[in-house]
Amino acid sequence: MPPALVDSHCHLDFPDFEGQTDEIVARAVAAGVTRMVTICTRLSGEPKVRAIAEAHDPVFYAAGTHPMNVAEQPMATVEQLVALAAHPKFVGIGETGLDYHYTADTAKVQQASLRVHIEAARRTGLPLIIHARDADDDIARILSEEHRAGAYSCVMHCFSSGAALARTALDLGFYLSMSGIATFRKSTELREIFAAAPPERVLVETDSPYLAPMPHRGKRNEPAYTAHTAAVGAEIFGLSAAEFAARTTANFDRLFDKAARWTPDA
């Protein structure tokens, strides 16, 4: 049997998986991925990810407004997000964050949306799920300011930013999530950043259908491929595949404790 892993971030509601969810989930389970968290990037998509989670025991979900979508979506409210969190399989707030790569022109509204999501994470006790791209300084500043105003938990999803943001996040008690990017040949600096992190603060994810790890790079990603990223993670930390899987699963259970407590008859 393959080591038991958790895909902490995927997008099973995306068109790439239309009509194939049963097969995708079954392949993940066969590959040792015992649980996965599917994320919606627009609150209007929450019913679809909720339905996927309700239909598949291994699937949990989170919802928020992706920073690249904030200009075209109504601003989420804290009350909306808190209400969604009442669902037994709703386990995280987001993804939210800042993305200045393509959408720097909406920086101010992205920042406002981020603060809304942080307050919802604070009120619900659920982890914040952060997307950060080309916005390291502002992300570090806002996360730090808000943490001083009141603690909350957080994962830096698909971490591929610089060492300074990694250190800020770790100093705040947050987690770094390793995606298929860490398996790419030219990602030496990123692997070094992970190597410097405490292994008890690392998760693994696919961000599928994007960022397929080696040897599937360039193809559609899916939760079953978590094992390829985990194999690289094990090498980074000098652990066996089973040890790394056990460590990252324990990390997931600590951060996403609502998912850890869930039972099928909950």
Q: Residues annotated in the binding site for a divalent metal cation, as ranges?
A: 9, 11, 95, 131, 157, 207
Per the annotation, where are the binding residues? 9, 11, 95, 131, 157, 207
Task: Give the separation between CA 108 and CA 131, rounded to whole angstroms.
Answer: 16
Distance between CA 101 and CA 78 in Å, rounded? Answer: 26
Q: How far apart are the first and last CA of the chain?
A: 28
Torsion of CA 76, 110, 52, 81, to 10 degrees: -30
Q: How far apart, in whole angstroms, are the C-alpha atoms of residue 104 and residue 107?
A: 5
**Residues, the chain:** 266
Which tokens go with 255? 């951060």
